[in-house]
Amino acid sequence: MGVTKRMTSLQKIQALTEKYGSVRECMCGDVSVPTKITIQEEFEDVELVIHNFPVFQCLECDEITFSPKDQVEYYKKAVKHYEATKKTEFDCNLSQ
């Protein structure tokens, strides 16, 4: 009665999972949530810019983690895109 209950980390994880679809645990012990960033990758002598690359970012320490599989996959797509169009900018959102 009238007692403020502290949110347990499990409840926090549940709430964040509902909000974001999926979350990860950061090395710092807090929770990382999905977000999109822009990354740069080199291909031969060109710098490819990859927009909307999906990553997880920690709510506490801002540490960014991502799947190496995604990185390889989008890198390959960006290279293909570059070879086809000569455009160094690639948007992951447009490649689904």
Binding site for Zn ion (CB under 5 A): 26, 28, 30, 58, 60-61, 63
DSSP 39-67: EEEEETTEEEEEEEEEEEEETTT--EE--
As measured in angstroms, the least distance from the Cβ of 66 to Zn ion is 14
| Contact yes or no for 56/66 (Cβ under 8 A) | yes
Least gap, CB of 38 to Zn ion (angstroms): 21
Backbone angles phi, psi at 60, to 5 degrees: -95, -55
Q: In the bound complex, what is the minimum distance in angstroms from residue 5's beta carbon to Zn ion?
A: 24
Q: In this complex, which beta carbon is closest to Zn ion, that of residue 26 or of residue 48?
A: 26
Nearer Cβ to Zn ion, position 29 or 85? 29
